[in-house]
């Protein structure tokens, strides 16, 4: 069974978290390559430890490698005036927002030790959030043709996205991940076309918005990481 080290980074600047992800990804890739050499020389492989990083960010917009700048509705001067950072990054997907009250998750997993299937990996990220929402009485799911976690439309509200997903892999080691809106300020999504989805019948939401009260972030994090360990069938490293 694989070992995963959990790190709650708290509120951390986006660039700092990105740099840490890249460092850990390089460590896992280097260990993987070293183990191939060891096995080729008849030596036992060294254990590989994976990472699950949870954090919150100060307000920031990130644009994936397939995203369009036209989906950012603020100028550089307006971003600065409103206290937002902006980064072009190497994950998949379009533009999204990160900010306080949002659980941002960065799994740094060597999928060679789990399963080499990107689509299955993304479905597992979604499933961890779907199962967490079920513990709060919300029936969430997926929307055909899109990634992320969605709540169905009802007679008052359109279909609502509560978790965005965008990943990057190098030699089957993952980085970036998901952004789960818990107590997130949804007003900040008004300055972008979230995930490049301009459909009038779709919007964004949060757990607080759906339940009508703020949530204990630590409680949500613990439920979420428990579902991660069950889905990926790993043990927590000390």
Give catalytic status of residue 55 as yes or no: no
> Given a cut of 90, is residue 170 above it in pLDDT?
yes
Backbone CA torsion sign across 89, 92, 95, 96: negative
Catalytic residue among 175, 195, 217, 220: 195
| pLDDT at residue 65 in the model | 86
Whole-angstrom distance between the N-terminal and C-terminal Cα of the chain?
14
User: What pLDDT digit, counting tens, does each position of 204-214 carry?
Assistant: 999 999 999 99
Give the pLDDT mean for 109-135.
Answer: 97
- CA dist 20 and 53 (Å) reads 10
Query: What phi and psi, each to the nearest 5 degrees, are found at residue 110?
Result: -90, 100
3-state secondary structure of 15: helix
Reported in sequence order, the residue ranges of the chain that DSSP labels E, i.e. its strands, are: 2-11, 49-56, 60-63, 85-88, 95-98, 102-108, 140-141, 149-151, 159-170, 173-181, 202-204, 234-236
The pTM (predicted TM-score) of the whole model is 0.94
Superfamily name and number for 2-236: Bira Bifunctional Protein; Domain 2 (3.30.930.10)
Domain boundaries along the sequence of the chain: 2-236
Euclidean distance between CA atoms 230 and 25, whole angstroms: 23
Task: Calculate what percentage of the chain has a pLDDT beyond 90.
Answer: 82
**Distance in angstroms (rounded) separating the CA atoms of residues 18 and 221:** 20
CA atoms within 13 A of residue 152's CA, in its CB half-sphere: 6
Q: pLDDT of 27-82, one tens digit each?
A: 999 999 999 999 999 999 988 899 999 999 999 999 988 888 999 999 989 999 98
Residue 52 near residue 6 (C-beta atoms within 8 A):
yes
Going from the C-alpha of 60 to that of each of 11, 73, 188, the distances in angstroms are 12, 13, 9
pLDDT at 93: 83
Report the pLDDT value the prediction gives residue 199, as an integer from 0 to 100. 75
């Amino acid at each position: 069974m694989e070992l995963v080290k959990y790190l709650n980074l708290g509120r951390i600047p986006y660039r700092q978290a990105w740099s840490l992800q890249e460092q850990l990804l390089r460590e896992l890739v280097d260990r993987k390559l070293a183990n191939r050499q060891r096995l080729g020389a008849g030596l036992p492989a060294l254990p590989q430890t994976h990472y699950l990083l949870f954090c919150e960010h100060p307000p920031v917009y990130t644009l994936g490698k397939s995203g369009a700048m036209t989906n950012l509705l603020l100028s550089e001067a307006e971003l600065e005036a409103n206290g937002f950072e902006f980064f072009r990054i190497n994950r998949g997907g379009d533009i999204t927002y990160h900010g306080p009250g949002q659980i941002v998750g960065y799994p740094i997993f060597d999928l060679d030790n789990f399963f080499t299937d990107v689509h299955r990996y993304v479905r597992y990220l979604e499933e961890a959030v779907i199962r967490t929402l079920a513990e709060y009485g919300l029936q969430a799911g997926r929307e055909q043709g899109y990634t992320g976690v969605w709540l169905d439309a009802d007679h008052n509200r359109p279909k609502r996205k509560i978790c965005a997903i965008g990943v990057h892999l190098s030699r089957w080691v993952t980085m970036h991940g998901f952004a789960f809106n818990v107590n997130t300020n949804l007003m900040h999504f008004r300055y972008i076309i979230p995930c490049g989805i301009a459909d009038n019948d779709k919007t964004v939401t949060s757990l607080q918005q759906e339940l009508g009260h703020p949530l204990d972030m630590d409680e949500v994090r613990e439920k979420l990481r428990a579902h991660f360990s069950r889905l990926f069938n790993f043990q927590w490293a000390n």
